[in-house]
A and B are shown apart, each in its own frame.
Chain A
């Protein structure tokens, strides 16, 4: 680590005292009077930020970028994350100064283009969801979930009811139970039946007047559409609870069926999944919600509204609103991208995207059900899937002595991002695979071939997988040590 070329030196370990990139604009006013800022409010020593030149800065971060795998470089079948292509048009239009340099508190009369865009996006998302009222405010899926459960709380309280429980299936994303706790409810799990759907008997047994809501993903995290959804809705509504749709898997059903038509009251969208907002290595996201008439009065403030004269405005006067969940109007930059996507594809294109996502998933599943793979990685629920499917690595572990984790790490040596692993929790040694609609047939075939090859390899020499990866910038990392003695910032004594 002594070499200046060492890639893991942080920006804080580069540079030299006095070196800089920034040149301050000229001081064109008198210096501030001494009493402008009393000494006891002042910082005594400057924050120990890096001291680097611009070329040094650029080289550091460009070199760091090369230590990332990304969607533009290769296949990324990460289940439940919908890693579809990110069109570059979206980056171009989002960067137009009229969008990018628009202040969030600009007078609505001088932000008509932005409000019209938001209004149009609300209309489009409402149509896709089959629910008429949309708030774009939440910052991500889990933020949308929190909005949904708080809306549920407001709805029940407005009716004079204090409910205490929220139901989630045992296959749910971890965000669902975490959200329920943050919204002050108790989590109650509902079981899964042999077909991978909600266990109706268990649901009936759990559903009572204390239940505020059932949070459901359909298709589920097993990649299966729950055909009993109408009955589920009836049971949930029968006890006066709301039905919440986790939109993480919306990419399977756009233009084919709608959560609102299935009986859902509240839906969140992940604009960073189905609607192409780039994931950015962990955000930004955007999690708009759509709701039914009975939930509408409680929607967040402010709402974009269309005035009678055709102009647009922000409505801050919503007496029953739950209030705000964040500042301003939400992640507008993400709205621009999602809106550009919807206008590019139109109704026909969105439906084609979902159909092709499901076609690609089923084709890949068919390829993986062939001899040489299926005996080691059987599909968890052997039926047609939606946009993703789950394999179990249990036989592979038993027969070949390698775990799902080992297979995932070996995929890294083949330029493929592994599927989601060890989720859903219900399936032993799970691999959740979501190819998305933007991958070619050839990519899917290559992936299936790679999996078959890695299984053949493991049969001969399981150590290769157990020691994988070997071609990556680093090999397996000691996560236990990282958690035991956390080092979460650069110690500056080591700066050079």
Chain B
């Protein structure tokens, strides 16, 4: 058994003497006997460090990770390269092990990182106000809808069907508490249906929720959709847009599209896939919402000697001060993951983020062209795409995916469960780690798999 305690028998005796009780059990005198657990917890016995390592390594070996196959799986998290400097910095005790910076004099490093992170998110989104992170993508969408309710009190929320299914489901879950009603705006040819949005808008709509690029990979005309929302009346709804931060390097930033609140999943900014977390969510808004923001915000100030320093600021929004009147209940957020985010953006740099975006655009265009030339494969929509696109297969998607998996290729995400209207849909993601050779291999295998499945289907019909 491993232990991280240090009390020896002699320590324990001396400490109990000082306390004035005969045994450790006496320290629990307040716990009624009837409530004491009268047996050991039914858990496996403890192990030595090396045994735990082997056990965890064994479990890891039973997963097929992006290291083990050529993966085109995306749908909200993406296999981007994480530079080595991030591993080093995230592993430093000084970043890894402190609590939330309640004592600013000894937390200047972490607070300055938050300030820098907020700056980077503001630059990326084109919005002046950013907090220091929220949990992750879909719950950030929920937090944005809650801000809209605090801002205008209206209860109808219109969410595009192009918003990630998990974000829409999270919205629906939270709305049962907030008292909002979530209604869907359909897609038309892969993008949010502008006419349907306009028809659904009225004075009771508090927020319109979009996603850029949308779940099917389409680059939305966010400016046109936001303009429609804002023309709906004198007291228009807030426009919320969930953004993928990497394509924002080449896409018009939400702040220039009339978006009031930009949120998103930060995993792609220097964070590992980690089977879904921890990552971080970003949350940026226009100036007027500063005092309604959820979560921690770092601000600049000076110390008594006039030296520049950083503190957690605007804390009267927060739960530990404001309690039931707080703008959010969030306490622990994702500081370490946000650190990875700002380090990653600094490592990419001003030119690098654009170059990465252009590379994704080119490889994605190549892949889409290459795959849609295959027999039995066509584009699910013709909208512009940056790093992910949707296909329609003239074959059973699950079986095609299985055939590719047997060849060490993860073909992408089957759309059928979330989009029953696209039972034949496949969502393919391209990152900078997927080379032309990988794409060619996917094309070759997909072509063969679709052909083979069509043959099986025809044989089935014939029999």
Contact = CB atoms under 8 A, between A and B. Distances in A.
Determine the main DSSP class of A at the interface with B. Answer: loop
B376 interface: no
A325 B139 contact: yes
Interface in B154-170: 164, 166-167, 169-170
Nearest to A84: B4
Given A48-B350, A100-B274, A412 B106 contact: yes
B329 A476 contact: no
Contacts of A360: 7, 15
A145 interface: yes
B273 A113 contact: no
B278 A486 contact: no
A327 B110 contact: no
Given A24-B356, A33-B365, A178-B322, A474 B303 contact: yes
B40 to A, nearest CB: 4
Contacts of A481: 301-302
Contacts of A57: 85, 343, 346-347
Contacts of B15: 359-360, 362-363, 441
B93 A256 contact: no
A106 B2 contact: no
A50 B123 CA distance: 10
A200 interface: no
Interface string B16-55: 1011110010111111101111001111111101001101
B314 interface: yes
B278 A103 contact: no
Contact of A65 (B21, B109, B135): B109
B169 A101 contact: no
Given A49-B348, A54-B85, A104-B77, A41 B219 contact: yes
Given A127-B42, A150-B177, A281-B101, A346 B347 contact: no
A85 interface: yes
A226 B32 CA distance: 9
A49 B439 CA distance: 31
Contact of A283 (B62, B253, B336, B354): B336
B335 A280 contact: yes
A12 B346 CA distance: 9
Nearest to A421: B102
Contacts, number: 731
Interface in B3-18: 3-7, 11-12, 14-16, 18
Interface in B80-104: 83, 85, 87-89, 91-104
Given A323-B169, A324-B173, 4 more contacts: A11-B116, A21-B85, A347-B41, A365-B19
Interface in A149-172: 149-150, 153-154
Given A262-B35, A343-B47, A67 B302 contact: no
A280 B169 CA distance: 29
B76 interface: yes
Contact of B123 (A49, A87, A107): A49
Interface in B316-338: 316, 318-326, 328-337
A111 interface: yes
Contact of B76 (A68, A256, A328, A490): A328
A177 B324 contact: yes
Nearest to A409: B105
Contacts of B88: 58
A318 to B, nearest CB: 12
Nearest to A276: B4
B32 A227 contact: yes
A10 interface: yes
A356 interface: yes
A331 B27 CA distance: 35
B189 to A, nearest CB: 15
A216 interface: no
A92 to B, nearest CB: 7
Given A50-B346, A261-B37, A139 B139 contact: yes
A241 to B, nearest CB: 17
B56 interface: yes
A344 interface: yes
B169 A488 contact: no
Given A124-B43, A153-B176, A326-B138, A363 B18 contact: yes
Interface residues of B, number: 212
Contacts of B21: 362, 384
A110 B93 contact: no
B202 interface: no
Interface string A62-78: 10111111111100101
Contacts of B45: 346-348
Contacts of B232: none
Interface stretch (A289-297, A333-341, A395-403, A454-462): A333-341
Contact of B63 (A98, A345, A359): A98
A486 B31 CA distance: 48
Contacts of B103: 69, 408, 412, 417-418
Contact of B336 (A30, A61, A84, A278): A278
A345 B138 CA distance: 35
A97 B174 contact: no
A127 B41 CA distance: 7
Interface stretch (B125-133, B203-211, B233-241, B449-457): B125-133
A438 B97 CA distance: 14
A278 B118 contact: no
B300 A473 contact: no
A394 interface: no
B74 to A, nearest CB: 8
Contact of B6 (A41, A150, A174, A438): A438
A488 B105 contact: no
A379 interface: no
Contact of B352 (A22, A41, A98): A22
Contact of B221 (A41, A83, A89, A482): A41
B37 A104 contact: no
Q: Which 8 A-B pairs have the closest CB atoms?
A: A98-B60, A328-B276, A280-B336, A346-B46, A104-B276, A113-B62, A284-B278, A282-B335
A124 B108 CA distance: 38
Contacts of B379: none
B59 A116 contact: yes
B135 A140 contact: yes
B343 A61 contact: yes
Contact of B65 (A10, A70, A97): A97
Nearest to B368: A36
B424 interface: no
Of B43, B45, B83, the most chain A CB neighbours within 10 A belong to B43
Nearest to A255: B41
A362 B27 contact: yes
Contacts of A439: 6
Contacts of A12: 116, 119
A96 B52 CA distance: 13
A475 B103 CA distance: 11
Contacts of B324: 177-178, 180-181, 187
Nearest to B224: A40
A181 B60 contact: no
B274 A102 contact: yes
B62 A487 contact: no
Contact of B353 (A47, A93, A330, A353): A47
Interface string A372-395: 000000000001101000000000
A359 to B, nearest CB: 6
Contacts of A22: 83, 347-349, 352, 355-356
Contacts of A93: 52-53, 56-57, 60
Contact of B109 (A38, A67, A257, A418): A67
B304 A182 contact: no
Contact of B303 (A103, A362, A478): A478
A194 interface: no
Contact of A334 (B101, B109, B278, B352): B278
A98 B115 contact: no
Chain A CB count within 10 A is highest, among B19, B42, B71, for: B19
Contacts of B320: 173-175, 423
